Structure formats: C-alpha cells, structure tokens
Amino acid sequence: MREEKKQINYVVVCVNEFANKHNLTVKEAFQFLFKHKAIEFLKENYDIEHTLSLEDTLSDMLMICKKNGGMLL
C-alpha cells in the first residue's frame, strides 16, 4: 500500500505542476491529461518517470497528450 500512495502523490504533483506551467486549473489539467492518456502513462511508467526531473516528466506528459490528439492553446 505504501508504494501505491507514493504513486498517487507523484501523479498529484505532476498534475499540479502541469496546471501551473500551462495556466490551467488543476481540474482542467487533470481532465486534459486523463483524456489524452498522460495519467495512464504516468501510472504505467512510474518506475522510470519518478527518477527523472519534473521538467522532463512534464515534457513527456505533453508529448503523450499530443500523440493522443491533445493540443493546448
């Protein structure tokens, strides 16, 4: 259960930072990231992503969203 909590906390931090970086509310960021599969990506690749810088992770998340049809204005 401890590992699951770490993963949840990591996803929360990433969503919050993504929201800040792209001038979105946390809710808007989560909906965008969920719809375009970045949340799924973070969960599936936690072991690797959490070792990277937050900036690299945010870049990866945006790349995944773009590959799945997500575009930010």
In a domain, residue 73? The reply is no
> Is residue 50 a part of any domain in this protein?
yes
23 domain residue, yes or no: yes
Please report the pLDDT score of residue 13 as a whole number. 97
Could you report the per-residue pLDDT of 20-64, keeping only the tens digit for each? 999 999 999 999 999 999 999 999 999 999 999 999 999 999 999
Provide the residue range defining the domain that includes 26.
Answer: 2-67
Cβ-contact 15, 29 below 8 angstroms: yes
Tell me whether residue 16 is in a domain.
Answer: yes
Residue 33 belongs to some domain of the structure: yes
Global pTM?
0.92
Match 């919050």 to its residue by tokens.
16
* 72 is a domain residue: no
Q: What is the count of structural domains for the chain?
A: 1
